[in-house]
Structure 1
Amino acid sequence: MTRIDIPGSVTVLGECVADVFTDPAGPGPDELALRALPGGGPANTAVTLAGLGTPTRFHARLSHDIFGDLFRNRLLQAGVDLSRSVSAPEPSVLAVAALDETGQATYTFYAEGAADWQWTTDELAPALDDDTVCLHTGSLALIREPGGSAIEDLLARARMQATVSLDPNVRPQFVPPALYRERMARWCELTDILRLSEDDLAHLLPGATPEEACDTWHAAGAPLVVITRGPHGALASLDGSRVTVPAPPVDVVDTVGAGDSFTAGLLHRLAALGQLGGRLDKLSLEDLTDACTYAARIAALTCSVAGATPPRTGD
């Protein structure tokens, strides 16, 4: 990736998660060997953004436990600004992943009482700086209380200065999809960019086609809806005008973090095109196609390596 000068910075708000994988080369049938990798949708997005050259701040509640140290090291090594993050006494979230033969992951979460959704209004107050052109959030931190409602209030304030990006990242193993459906109308009112996967779509609007879903969420207030479709690429709808981009061919190792990398690539490219910082009023279909094509390439590169390991500038 070639470095591009980005006007302003992107703030990412949300959780870190320890993605725990079973080790097939474990010691024996009566033992379980595990490998923990730092992950979590918002953290993956922040790491990818910074790796691509976007000035990135990550606003998170990071635990004091050993996994919190793992998260801090990963983020700092990627060049993410953690100066506004909160040091939290609660434990980190663990997500034990099972991979199928195609590399698709399903998760079991160990997350009750975790640090990531204990936000207070005072802790969220420093999230935005004057140079912030985009605030991206979503996933578990946005749906879990008490922090979810406080984050929604922050998004309403952020719209006065920045583009708002949201990825619901539905986790039915941990949060009933009905709770996401109850909040979607409000989230669409607050966001400018709604990025979600086909799996998210199936949970949020069962039976709806991607085009029908885009129209539903446009009507609720989201001007740009992007639905990623794995090997089938992505559909982007800008107030009803649609473009599709293919997924580059890739030898898939696993799909962990692919959607998060797509989001980062999309935001990075939109920032480079000067489209962030407002309501996307000047975004053309040509620039949208360019940004989604770039994002699909970043997602494909992430699928070519184990874990949520994104490309960096110069890779």
Structure 2
Amino acid sequence: MTADHPVAVLGECVADAFVAPRTTPPSPAAESPAPLTLDVHPGGGPANTAVALARLGTPTRFLGRLSHDVFGRLFSDHLAGSGVDLSHAVHAAEPSTLAVADLADDGSADYSFHAQQTADWQWTDEELARAADAPTTCLHTGSLALVQQPGGAAVERLLARVGQRATVSLDPNVRPLLVDPAVYREALPRWCALADILRLSDDDLGHLRPGATPREAADAFHAEGTELVVVTLGGDGVMASLRGEKIQVAAPTTHVVDTVGAGDSFMAGFLHSLHAVGALGGRLEALTPEQVRDALAWGVRVAAAVVAVRGANPPWAADLDGER
């Protein structure tokens, strides 16, 4: 597999609808409550990662089921406008997935999901075989695509096949409001056996390995088959473990507007760096701790740019060049 082959990202697109702040307090004399105003942005963990990768300059192919509805058109325009290859996406008849986010003062988001019978989860083996038939150095997936049925089982079967010819990267991105964390915990040993790279947040870790430190959890995931484990720690930076060797990188000081898309964008910066040095395409046997450290630094840099703006709006490569 050559370094100029793209990174493929498989998973969902989600319409992130942010509750707009009320400009005036409600009036007791009003006959009806003021309407709720939503500010809708294209999102979804895998789609965010694909957009961020492409904007950084990595050739990126998105494998998703894009609805025919107004949100599906929003996703397609956003992905294509960022330089993502949509030639292997599926045009789906089902509606798009919607997430309504109410932001707290510290920028954290409280979500409600509208995801029953939506386009993202209806993958078949035949669709996936066609979508993933082109050469790729790495297939990155995770989030709800791996646990929402009926498509989740088909995605897992695809990973077993793709792993014979490309690096497999996985980000569980636990969503306890939609799926019981026990479902993730039951599947995690299988995913570790399939994945070369496993990325989790500290919140994910709390659901998947309650009470375990990032270092303890990484060692357990290595024992189950994963070569490289990455745990993002919010403002405390990120820790990686490459075959047991631990590497830590601090997060830059950043004014946080909101944290939407931070982990997804971190993963884009991380994979972008590994792709640039030709480290992707196989089982990571030649990957060095120095390459991992550089990739972690890229990841936290991209994530810092994302949390400084509202919504998942990753930077372009030129934006980061301008910071130097």
On whether the aligned pair clears a TM of 0.5, the verdict is yes
SS at match of 1:132: coil
2:209 maps to 205
1:132 maps to 136
1:185 maps to 189
Matches within 5 A, 1:161-176: 161-176=165-180
The equivalent position to 2:127 in structure 1, one of 117, 123, 126, is 123
The answer to whether structure 1 residue 291 and structure 2 residue 288 are counterparts is no
Query: 1:279 Cα deviation (Å)?
Result: 0.5
Moved more, 39-48 or 204-213: 204-213
The answer to whether structure 1 residue 248 and structure 2 residue 252 are counterparts is yes
Moved more, 233-242 or 20-29: 20-29
User: 2: CA distance between counterparts of 1:140 and 1:129?
Assistant: 22
Question: Retained in 1: the 8 A contact 2:63–2:132?
Answer: no
Question: Deviations 1:189-218 (Å, cap 9, x if unpaired)?
Answer: 000000110000000011111111101111
SS at match of 1:57: strand
Q: List structure 1 runs of 4+ shifted beyond 4 angstroms.
A: none
2:17 maps to 20
Query: 1:160 Cα deviation (Å)?
Result: 1.2
Query: 1:25 Cα deviation (Å)?
Result: 3.7
- Give the letter for the 1:295 counterpart: G
Structure 1 alignment gaps of length 5 or more? 1-5
Query: 1:7 Cα deviation (Å)?
Result: 2.5
User: 1: CA distance between counterparts of 2:145 and 2:23?
Assistant: 33
Question: Retained in 2: the 8 A contact 1:27–1:33?
Answer: no
The answer to whether structure 1 residue 85 and structure 2 residue 82 are counterparts is no
Question: Retained in 2: the 8 A contact 1:134–1:163?
Answer: yes
Question: Retained in 2: the 8 A contact 1:26–1:32?
Answer: no
1:10 maps to 7
Question: Retained in 2: the 8 A contact 1:166–1:194?
Answer: yes
**How much identity, in percent, do the aligned residues show?**
60
User: 2: CA distance between counterparts of 1:106 and 1:217?
Assistant: 29
SS at match of 2:203: helix
The equivalent position to 1:39 in structure 2, one of 29, 36, 43, is 43
- Give the letter for the 2:155 counterpart: I
CA-based RMSD: 1.3
1:3 maps to none
User: 1: CA distance between counterparts of 2:124 and 2:66?
Assistant: 14
- The TM-score normalised by the length of structure 1 is 0.96
1:148 maps to 152
Structure 2 alignment gaps of length 5 or more? 27-32, 320-324
- The TM-score normalised by the length of structure 2 is 0.94
Question: Retained in 2: the 8 A contact 1:56–1:80?
Answer: yes
